[in-house]
Amino acid sequence: MTKLRLLNAYLTERLMVAVREILEVVEGTVSEFQEEAARTHRENESLRRRLREVGYDTEADWPGVTHEMSPAEQRHYEQEWSCSLKKDTELTVNEDKQVLSEQQRARHREELCCPNVVQQEEESGRKQCGRWTHVTA
């Protein structure tokens, strides 16, 4: 392969690794936020119980307060969020694979067009196909 193709392959590989690392960090952050939201919800429920024990009805005494989701509803939304994040991750990885396969197909088409290109590139750093001469880095 030419230096340009090697550089392209190297950069593509490094970018894919970076994308995976970023997605892992984002997933970790989302998980932390979900855990924090669940803790906050449990704490709010605990405080509501304590208020009821001392005689306050949170819904009646505080008109601005709305009813929160039940634990089952909250789990449902958390699962939806997790599934959505997982799908986004899978789409990104699939897009990366598609880019790589497109590059491989382009290379294959080039080899079909000019079967001696690989040998010529290695020997001279120049590529000839038909009447065109391509200088490669």
pLDDT of 127 above 50: no
CA distance 125 to 137: 7
pLDDT of 88 above 70: no
pLDDT of 110 above 70: no
Alpha helices in 56-127 (DSSP H): 58-61, 71-113, 117-124
pLDDT in tens, 18-45: 999 999 999 999 999 999 999 999 999 9
CA distance 132 to 10: 27
> Which among 17, 35, 26, 31 has a CA at the least distance from the CA of 93?
17
Q: What percent of the chain has pLDDT over 70?
A: 56
What is the pLDDT averaged over residues 59-73? Answer: 63
CA distance 79 to 126: 55
Per domain, the residue ranges of the chain are: 3-135
